[in-house]
Amino acid sequence: MDKTNSLYSEVEVNLETAISVGLTENEYLKVCEYLGRTPTYTELGVYGVMWSEHCSYKNSIKQLKTLPRSGGRLLVDAGEENAGLVDIGTDEKGKRFAICFKVESHNHPSAIEPFQGAATGVGGILRDIFSMGARPIAAFNSLRFGELDSERTKFLLNGAVSGISHYGNCFGVPTVGGEIYFDDCYFDNPLINVMAAGIVRADKVATAAASGVGNPVFIVGSSTGRDGIHGASLLASREFDEQTEGMRPTVQFGDPFAEKLLLEATLELIESGAVVGVQDMGAAGISCSTSEMSQRSGVGMKVDLDKVPLREKNMSAYEIMLSESQERMLFVFDKNKVQKAIEICNKWDVPIAQIGEVTEGGMLDIWRDGKQVCFMPADSLVLGGGAPQYTREAIKPKYIEEAKKFDASKIEPKLSTEEIFWKLLKTPTIASKKWVFEQYDSQVGTNTVDIKSGAAVLRIKELPEQGIALSIDCNSRYVYLDPYNGTKIALAEAARNLVCVGAKPLAITNCLNFGNPYDPEVYWTFQETIRAMGETCRLFDTPVTGGNVSFHNESQNRAIYPTPTIGMLGLIEDLNKTISNGFVKENDLIYLIGYTYEDDLINYNLGASQYLKLIHNDNVANITSININKELDLQRLMLDCITNGLINYAQDISEGGLAISLAEKTILSNNNLAAFVDIKEIDLTNNKYNNLLLFGEFQTKVVITCSEENALRLHDFCSKYSMDCINIGRVQKEVFEIKDILKTSKEQLVKEFNSLANIMK
């Protein structure tokens, strides 16, 4: 290898230096091979961050490529742009519109600095949306923490919720839904997964590719500081240890007011026709945006770092290239429309500075203080180019087979059925998160039609009769015990939540949260998750638009449950046909409809349930092997029933089982309505009555209500799809009753359901 190096290097580079920035020995040798020389220190830093787990997906991309990443209503293939793009139809003038949506994680930063970590997670996902020319119309979040009996968990939860509400409310995007789970495995490593969606004219979408030799390259937005350096390469790409607290400076700091101005400037710049290409500066900052934008079109860039607006003195080339300061975008403008771009930025009081130009040859040519510090092939840095791709060793965990031997239905609970009900209703994972969601502005923008318990419904003003629904789901307790079926259940629940409000599922985005990929058991669970996701998405015709992989979510003490968070988009053809979030009419009949599995007859689907956690404090036992063909039949039945006006309310059965689902709908209903239920009517157990039917978390089943006059037609529709249709009770005033087990007032249900707010005081 030629050791000579004509480029300037602030620090002598060797193998030890390479390891310090996250590269392995083989990767360091590969860098030297690409360059034909020893890299400079700045080049080494760029390779370190670009080849990090967080940026390159080096341990996941081979698996991700097996997913359905095109087709359906997708307008761009997964990974081609900053976010997914899904066609939702045309207006009366023939203009086509699309929804741009994506979910990403900000886990590690939030464990170090929960307020800023969560806040900048929101800021980053919003920039992914509006960098494509889409105006954000909704945000979602999926949050996971340790048990709430810990002051640390309360600190992290309060900080993350405050960060999310601060950024979203100040920016002006409604947070319309989400989920919060509490399990000990997340004690050291909380998960902060944030999803956003926006609306865009399909012919006005901006690309993330640079093109046109001689076109100028600009930074638009905030100045660059030292915050976030090594955030992607070291903080987000390793486990937590005793040194983690000292990595607080790698967490970025956000300014939602600056981002709001950046949004308006960006959308006007794109509308003006001045923009050739644009990309958010998120993970890896200038390193990522320059290399990825260049690689997409096979061009290069010459960049003068002296022209980058800085907010700190004496920043080195290394620091400028790796900084992850927020609220910045990289633009390539048409060289003939630069003045127009400057005028627009000045109008919105958004800083703008030219830092370089597009070149031919595919090289990144970076200068600082009159010295050349980088000269690298852009293709060698990025996913799909020269970045390494690995398949790791995979071994099925032994605990999975052991868990299948455990029958949760055989445990003799020390509590009565009524006592179990009340304790489940107050369980942090189940109890009302109203005290959280009240901190979020859910109505700003006036697109929010309804916030259902499982999905949010939004109007599309550009298509007045239509709407969309969004859901975000994953029960990681299932995935831990059976990654294959647990992932199918996560996808099925996300889709079920959409069809229960009348939306047809169109596409998904995912955030795949796992432990150390170098652990063969962790990698096996990852492979099984991808296998299940591919099969299910192909059957549901919901291609994967993109998302995020977050590995290394573990500490010295514990690893998280594998948590493939699913964000799903659905289309509502007629907003007038969406249905209610709670009971709506006294004397309506309550039905349990769906498909009966063998496990429903044997163990009541108690494996991995909140019931089992309550009475056994463990996550063991077999879970249902879900039949996704039957699940699809149920979804088609639901859409058919809603379209034909047969049902007034629908809700799937999730955490806590049938009893909790009915209680939640009583709590959310208007006009003081409640439920009377007789579970002895449920003939799932060959006439063997058991109270455990109340707490089994059944799959491929939905609770619905309909009027007496529609009952016969409902039975006919269910027969058409070969689904059970069991009348289990009716809607009544004031009193919530499960016959022979529980009788209480709606007021008492509300009081107990809201008990979580008292814990957080």
Domain presence at residue 56: no
DSSP, collapsed to helix, strand or coil, labels residue 642 as helix
Active site residue 108: no
8 A C-beta contact, residue 179 and residue 143: yes
Catalytic residue among 106, 108, 230, 552: 106
Distance from C-alpha of 714 to C-alpha of 737, rounded to nearest angstrom: 24
Distance from C-alpha of 191 to C-alpha of 250, rounded to nearest angstrom: 18
Distance from C-alpha of 76 to C-alpha of 65, rounded to nearest angstrom: 15
Q: Which two tokens stand for residue 499?
A: 């069809």
Among 341, 361, 383, residue at a domain's last position: 383
Domain presence at residue 139: no
pLDDT at position 687: 45
Domain presence at residue 393: no
8 A C-beta contact, residue 666 and residue 590: no
- Output phi, psi for 132, to 5 deg: -95, 5
Q: What is the largest CA-CA distance in the chain?
A: 86
Between β-strands 300-304 and 363-368, what pairing exists: parallel, antiparallel or unpaired?
parallel
Domain presence at residue 543: no
| Mean pLDDT split into 10-residue runs, the chain, 761 residues | 66 93 94 95 95 90 94 87 90 92 92 92 94 94 94 94 92 90 95 96 94 97 86 54 48 84 97 96 91 96 97 94 93 98 97 98 96 97 89 95 85 91 95 84 65 80 90 96 97 96 96 96 98 98 94 89 97 88 89 88 84 88 90 97 93 93 90 90 58 90 95 96 95 94 94 81 61
Number of structural domains (the chain) is 2
pLDDT at position 517: 95
Q: Please give the DSSP secondary-structure letter assigned to residue 234.
A: I
Q: Which two tokens stand for residue 461?
A: 């003003």
Among 357, 383, 409, residue at a domain's last position: 383
Between β-strands 673-677 and 735-738, what pairing exists: parallel, antiparallel or unpaired?
parallel
Domain presence at residue 352: yes
Neighbours of 369 (CB within 10 A): 11
Could you give the C-alpha distances from 602 to 598, 605, 684, in angstroms and in order?
Answer: 7, 8, 9
**Helical segments of 149-193, H only:** 151-171
Distance from C-alpha of 449 to C-alpha of 501, rounded to nearest angstrom: 11
pLDDT at position 577: 87
8 A C-beta contact, residue 294 and residue 378: yes
Domain presence at residue 469: no
| Of residues 741, 10, 5, 698, the one with CA closest to residue 317 | 10
> Amino acid identity, residue 434?
K
* Three-state SS letters, 280-327: ECCCCHHHHHHHHHHHHHCCEEEEEHHHCCECCCCCCHHHHHHCCCCC
CATH for 358: 3.90.650.10
Helices (H) and strands (E) in the chain, counts: 25, 25
Q: Which two tokens stand for residue 48?
A: 């370190």
> Amino acid identity, residue 567?
G
Domain presence at residue 744: yes
Distance from C-alpha of 297 to C-alpha of 315, rounded to nearest angstrom: 30
What are the DSSP E strand ranges found in 653-740? 673-677, 701-706, 724-733, 735-738
Active site residue 106: yes
Q: Which two tokens stand for residue 140?
A: 């979602």
Domain presence at residue 278: yes
Q: Which domain holds residue 230?
A: 206-383
